[in-house]
A and B are shown apart, each in its own frame.
Chain A
Amino acid sequence: AQSVTQPDIHITVSEGASLELRCNYSYGATPYLFWYVQSPGQGLQLLLKYFSGDTLVQGIKGFEAEFKRSQSSFNLRKPSVHWSDAAEYFCAVGSYSGNTPLVFGKGTRLSVIA
């Protein structure tokens, strides 16, 4: 069965510092990978997605993620964090055909300090 592990429940970084959020997945076929962000009381906003091609994917708000098949990982990065990036981040895996629903990790809460 497919699964997603986000090992960090909560991360605190200083504004302007770099960020890396970890995501490992388990999926029996070619994974379709996603990162979403959720601000308090808000819905899910898609940051980026990956299915094939260049393994370094650029997303919105200056985020990028790197797919590493050998490590079953899809880590999210940002070179310089802004206070407005404080939110909950979810990694998810699904299928390109949509015949399986998205399976989400439990999320990583990002706090940003001055």
Chain B
Amino acid sequence: DTAVSQTPKYLVTQMGNDKSIKCEQNLGHDTMYWYKQDSKKFLKIMFSYNNKELIINETVPNRFSPKSPDKAHLNLHINSLELGDSAVYFCASFARGYTFGSGTRLTVV
């Protein structure tokens, strides 16, 4: 039973499209995050949510919109995809430790 699960694992799409990545955690954690890992492997925080409320938005373009329908889910919707959005996106949750999902590799062509 995966603690933090992301879907899809791979996503290939054309520029200009809109896509969503889903994240679910079954750990009962209050805090969830989205991270972006770029082509140089650098991991950077994008968003932080606590109990469905946005806590941190780290200068991410408005095309990225996180949505937390309940405490267990934090989805990432991306509008008008650009080539530079190609990256691996990790979801994570926190309670006395940070638990990461396995990542979603997004390729924009």
Contacts and interface: CB of A to CB of B under 8 A. Distances in A.
B106 interface: no
Interface in A21-47: 34, 36, 38, 42-44, 46
B41 A101 contact: no
B45 A44 contact: no
Contact of A106 (B42, B45, B90, B95): B42
Interface stretch (A12-20, A63-71, A77-85, A90-98): A90-98
A36 B63 CA distance: 30
A101 B56 CA distance: 9
A24 B44 CA distance: 18
**Most-contacted residue by chain B among A43, A46, A90, A92 (CB, 10 A):** A43
Interface residues on B, range: 20 to 34
A43 B41 contact: no
Interface of A: 34, 36, 38, 42-44, 46, 49, 88, 90, 92, 94, 96, 98-99, 101-104, 106-107, 109
Nearest to B44: A104
Given A102-B45, A106-B41, A107-B41, A43 B100 contact: yes
